Amino acid sequence: MRFWALSSLVPLLLSASTLSQNVSNVLNANTEAFISQVLADWNSAGGFAVAVVRRDASGAWQVETKGYGIATADGGKMTEHTRFNIASNSKLFTALATGLLISNETLSPRLSWTSKLASVVPGWSMIDPGAAKQLTITDAMSHRSGLPRHDISYKLTDNDAAVVEKTKHLRPSAEFRDLWQYSNHMYVLLSTLPQRVLPSKSPFVEYVQEHILDPLGMNATTYLYPVANATGDFADGFTREDGNPLGNGTVRALPYFGAGAGNNTVLAGAGGVITNAVDMATWLKMLLSNGVHPDTNATIIPADVMDKAATGVSVQTGKADFPELSPLVYGGGQARGTYRGHDLIEHGGDVPGYHSQVTRLTNDGLGVMVFSNDNPLGALTMEIVKYRLIDEALGLEPIDWNTRYKGVLSQLLNSSVAPTPRPANATLPAGGLAALQGTYKNAGYGSFELCLVSPSPSASDSASRKCKALATNATRILPGAVTPGVPTYLAEWDSPWGSHLQLSHFTRNTFNVSLVSSYPTGNASQPFWTYNAGVLDSSAVAQFDKGGVGMMGIWGASDGVPEPEGKSIKELAEVWFDKT
């Protein structure tokens, strides 16, 4: 806490001057060769955008921004101006915007970090009534609501009111305030506060624009994909069609995960910020200046708000993965720990095609941002680059993070649980396959129509016209998704994470579950390709029972959280869908 008290004096010392010339660049020949080697070693189809900022004792700044590798499917190079989605690094914008509301003395009644959301959000409820009554702003932003991720519950067409309404019906996986469990829903909930408490009823996106982005001059930053895409300098996210991240499979550019939503900003508070390395350098300087504009000394975010967001509330990681790291505690859109004895505050962000890490070492006046558009390896390679740049900036002997993270990848691949092979003598569901078709509904997830696509329904089948059309086109729009001879159902699933829910028969009334996406190739001979973002557990299953279907392995609970207990499928299910 002492550092934050002292750091409130920083604005008085700041200047807009350039760091003295005797400080060497972090992005130098050695580090740039290293970054290029990482791209080569990991067979990356994409690249990195990097921002490094440092402040010396006089308050002068050294700012370095640069791009490496490939940004777009047509071979365009990554630069410091290339725009990209920073995913969950958007959450800090939300936490700080919430802090601005709390600091607003004109509001009546005033908000506080301990304000109960039930008193602010009319009709707010949760399955756990005690949690619903006691949930505070601090609880929501520090991920201790008791809810797991439930990320496939919201749809591209949902607005924030719809997501908040669905959240009321989502089953918790832990007791309220018992442990840290990541929840995008809580940040959607927080993003509704400006419209709820301000007399102007300002939408969240406009509020952040007016009070944070515009004052900082972050002119390349937006929440609107159409606006960012229209610049012609927007990174594609890349993946390999064969699913082998280190292989030589066909490289595909992933459509932007929220493109189908247009100007719908439902996920703005959880993961909607689109920006570039130049603007992120400005953001890092403001954070290192404890909320003060790095050039004008104007207060953008009050110091007490900065302090609150950076102070741990819940334990994110109780045990460090490497000896140079510490356990992490989570505040608001930030985790706090140490790296090689240096205080570190950071957050990661991951959506299909985009990975970002924004890190600052407050006592060292150092900030580093690394973005990757290589999916999914960017989640690992950006860590390698981040630590190498920190080592360089601090003058430390570099640790071989490249080799370490190759070991992490090997462990991940070796420990992944493959679905149990379907028994050779699998028994078909009681009542027949056609009987399982129909519409299913859960108040937190919405409704879907389950369509039998293999074997294809006959002309006399009672399947709807929509289901018959889906069965006819299934192998064309989702090549490889349907295994010949295995009964398979599909349901359209308008999600940022997948276009179709797939149920492949295991035995009796049990099915393996996947969430897949159908994406166009631009090639008439193979017009579509199939992508699995890995949002669901590899062991996710659906079990049909009287009156509906229960699904397990889909809610995204934290590691070590026990599965639901009960005697019936409905009680055991993470999510139960009634057949309507």
Task: Answer yes or no: is 533 within a domain.
Answer: yes
Q: Tell me which residue range forms the domain holding 240.
A: 2-94+201-415
pLDDT at residue 242, rounded to an integer:
77
Task: Answer yes or no: is 217 within a domain.
Answer: yes
Whether residues 399 and 448 fall in one domain: no
Whether residues 362 and 473 fall in one domain: no
CATH number at residue 373: 3.40.710.10
Whether residues 566 and 502 fall in one domain: yes
Distance CA 111, CA 104 (A): 8
Q: Which phi and psi (to 5°) does residue 226 adopt?
A: -55, -35
Domain final position from 380, 415, 450:
415
Task: Answer yes or no: is 152 within a domain.
Answer: no
Task: Answer yes or no: is 161 within a domain.
Answer: no
Whether residues 335 and 398 fall in one domain: yes
Whether residues 537 and 406 fall in one domain: no
Distance CA 148, CA 557 (A): 5
Contact of 445 with 166, CB cutoff 8 Å: yes
Q: What share of the chain is helix, strand, coil (3-state, %, to 5)?
A: 30, 25, 45
Whether residues 446 and 574 fall in one domain: yes
DSSP-based three-state secondary structure for 91: helix
Task: Answer yes or no: is 77 within a domain.
Answer: yes
For the segment 272-302, what is each residue's pLDDT rounded down to a tens digit? 999 999 999 999 999 999 999 999 999 999 9
Domain final position from 348, 382, 415:
415
Q: Which residues of the chain have pLDDT under 50?
A: 1-21
Task: Answer yes or no: is 143 within a domain.
Answer: no
Distances (CA, A) of 247 to 42, 243, 434, 488, 517: 9, 8, 40, 29, 21
Into how many domains does the chain fold? 2
- Which ranges in 104-159 belong to alpha helices (H)? 129-134, 137-141
DSSP state, residue 140: H
Whether residues 224 and 368 fall in one domain: yes
Whether residues 78 and 7 fall in one domain: yes
Burial class (CB in 10 A: 0-12, 13-18, 19+), 466: exposed
DSSP state, residue 562: P
For residue 109, is the peptide bond before it cis, meaning its omega torsion is within 30 degrees of 0?
A: yes
Q: Which two tokens stand for residue 218?
A: 């972050």
Torsion of CA 67, 68, 72, 76, to 10 degrees: 90
Distance CA 391, CA 388 (A): 5
pLDDT at residue 122, rounded to an integer:
94
Distance CA 484, CA 497 (A): 25
Whether residues 278 and 401 fall in one domain: yes
Task: Answer yes or no: is 156 within a domain.
Answer: no
Whether residues 235 and 334 fall in one domain: yes
Whether residues 405 and 494 fall in one domain: no
pLDDT at residue 421, rounded to an integer:
87
Domain final position from 415, 444, 475:
415
**What are the beta bridge partners of residue 502?**
490, 514
Whether residues 463 and 369 fall in one domain: no
For the segment 56-93, what is each residue's pLDDT rounded down to a tens digit? 988 899 999 999 999 999 999 999 999 999 999 999 99
For the segment 129-181, what is each residue's pLDDT rounded down to a tens digit? 999 999 999 999 999 999 999 999 999 899 999 999 999 999 999 999 999 99
For the segment 477-508, what is each residue's pLDDT rounded down to a tens digit? 999 999 999 999 999 999 999 999 999 999 99
Task: Answer yes or no: is 155 within a domain.
Answer: no
